[in-house]
Structure 1
Amino acid sequence: MNFGAEFHGQKVVVTGAAGIMGRALAQSFADAGAEVCSADLSTEGLSGFAVAADLTTDAGTETLLDAVAARWGAPDVVINNAAIYPSSFLLDMQVSDWDQIMALNLRAPFVLMRGFALQMIQQGKGGAFINISSGAARKMRRTAVTYCMSKTALDRMTKGFALELAEYGIRVNCLEPGFAAGSAVSELSQEHIDRVMAAIPLGAETRSEDIGQAALYLASSAAKNITGTSLAVDGGNSAGTMDVYQAKKSAL
């Protein structure tokens, strides 16, 4: 998808920019001509305007908000991508683990959306927020219940901010990536990968460029009438299962 010069000079913030998806999102907007602020725990490996901030803390969110305000005044696009996906049964989980998941996956997006929205409003400009969610927002997963809950709440918070920021010309949406085998968090067996891939209607994993193009679309004027919604880029995986529970496995 060609967005022409639409993003030239626009100011874009991407959190969790050191991860696989974060890098892809930051690179997609940079390639489209935007100025990008890449934020993560460390600036190691990040180029350009990079901010080191622990977004689970008040000091970390304030550091990012202040750095952007000092450099730009206000951003045009904010992508809340930073999140963690620890695996644990609820009965094994420590309260401190719960707090950390909610702090990064839910509290940080709230604080940053509130803060950046105020910057946008004070500068008299509209803007767009894209919250990176997951199909986990709609379906529980054993050993990832807290993650699922955080994404469900993020989806509802997205709708809430969309309602309250609409009058200021600020749009808020969710983007839901699908399955990708190259996880930086956990190594997956080939058997698991094959089983998941077989259940995806379009039979393809979600590539970095798929997410980048979807984010560009949601931030662009082509989506100017879209707010408060979730866009799943998952090959149809969230639509249902491909399993057939009868002997005849194909219609033709």
Structure 2
Amino acid sequence: MSGLLEGQVALVTGAGGGIGRGIAARFAEEGAGVVLHCRTAVEAAGRVASRIRDSGGRALVLRADLTDEDACRRLVTEAAEWGGGRLTALVNNAGVQPTRELPGMPAADWRAVVDTNLTSVFACTQAAAGIMRSQAGGGSVTHVASIEATRPAPAHAHYAASKAAVRMHARAAALEYGGFGIRVNSVSPGLIHREGLEEAWPEGVRRWERATPLGRLGRAENVGDACVFLASGLASWISGHDLVVDGGVSAGPGW
């Protein structure tokens, strides 16, 4: 690898899930020390951390419930303490994607998605910026949004709305934190492969493959590559941007 993130200390939330594991692995491959956050998927995050350490890298697993604002702050503080008082990159990847039709959706279901997908982004970013603004070089924050921020799917109203808000939060945060040397961007993935997806949703996968110019599902490392780029010096003058990683599906007609 090219060492794009050599010397960086990064926190990746939701690193027990497939996309989060891919992001954490790519950050480590590019030289960053990585804190892998998880809520319940401790074993999965631990396996990635073990592989990173076996390859000569630095990794730590921390647990937190990111629907709790105080837990978000503790997580960021502990990550920075592990990094010797520094935190140079935050990737807000943690999220949930339940399905529920909008007409019958109770407010509790709506709040559960918004608190996990959006409020955690606000709280973790605010805590991380408090550290980044006081260190030389500032830092970078990347939110993992979704192409559903602009192209919602049935029964995903709460998810799509939360991801649209995540994209706008990145732009607003880029505006307000830029003066401290903090860049904030978002990455919007399309459909990403996960184990068992083709069996669980064969028709959906076939439709996606037909609609995507590149003809395949995305992989977790494709999202990781985008996050690495945005955290690296190659993106030093990029802030407030949404990087779409969807194999070109958004370029197709919507009818």
Asked if Structure 1 and Structure 2 have the same fold, meaning a TM-score greater than 0.5 normalized by the shorter chain, the answer is yes
Indicate whether 1:160 and 2:169 are aligned. no
| 1:171 matches 2:183 | yes
Q: Is the 8 A contact 1:171 1:228 kept in 2?
A: yes
* Structure 1 position 6 matched with structure 2 position 4: yes
Letter in 1 for 2:118: L
5+ residue gaps, structure 2:
50-58
Residue aligning to 2:122: 110
TM-aligned CA deviation for residue 162 of structure 1: 0.4
For residue 21 of structure 2, what is the aligned residue in structure 1?
Answer: 23
Per-residue displacement from partner, 1:62-110 (whole Å, max 9, x unpaired)? 3302212322323111000000000001122222211110111000000
Contact residue 10 and residue 89 of structure 2 kept, 8 A: yes
The higher radius of gyration belongs to 1
C-alpha distance in 1, partners of 2:20/2:231? 16
Task: Determine the structure 1 residue equivalent to 2:54.
Answer: none
Query: Who is 1:128 aligned against?
Result: 140
8 A Cα contact 1:198 1:242, kept in partner: no
Q: Distance in 1 between matches of 2:196 and 2:121?
A: 22
User: Shift in Å at residue 183 of structure 1?
Assistant: 6.1
- Whether 2:91 is the aligned partner of 1:93: answer no
Distance change >3 Å, CA 56–CA 185, structure 1 → 2: farther
Alpha carbons of structure 1 residues 194 and 27: separation in structure 2 relative to 1, 3 Å: same
The runs of at least 4 consecutive aligned structure 1 residues that moved more than 4 Å come to: 183-187
Counterpart in the other structure of 2:64: 53
Within the candidate set 200, 203, 226, 2:215 is matched to: 203
**Residue matched to 1:44:** 43
The 5-angstrom pairing of residues 73-92 of structure 1 reads 73-92=85-104
Aligned AA (2:159): Y
Check if 1:234 corresponds to 2:246: yes
Match in the other structure for 1:221? 233
Larger CA deviation: 108-117 vs 70-79: 70-79
State the number of aligned residues.
241
Q: Give the 3-state SS of the residue equivalent to 2:121 in structure 1.
A: helix
SS of residue in 1 equivalent to 2:91: strand
Q: Which runs of 5+ in 1 are unaligned?
A: 244-252
SS across alignment from 1:205: coil
Query: Which residue identity does 2:112 align to in structure 1?
Result: Q
> 150-159 or 203-212: which moved more?
203-212
Hey, what's the Cα distance between the residues in 2 that align with 1:156 and 1:186? 32
Matched with 2:82 is 71
Query: 1:51 & 1:14 partners in 2: Cα distance?
Result: 10
Per the normalisation by structure 2, the TM-score is: 0.88
Q: What is the one-letter code of the residue matched to 1:163?
A: L
**8 Å contact 2:3–2:29 — kept in the other structure?**
no
After superposition, the Cα gap between the structure-2 partners of 1:84 and 1:187, relative to the gap in structure 1 and judged at 3 Å, is: farther
Q: Secondary structure at the match of 1:122?
A: coil
Q: How high is the sequence identity, in percent, across the aligned residues?
A: 33
AA aligned to 1:129 is V
- CA shift, 1:239, in A, is 1.9
Change (3 A) 1:158 1:185: farther
Using the TM superposition, give the Cα deviation of residue 176 of structure 1 relative to its aligned residue in structure 2, in angstroms.
1.1
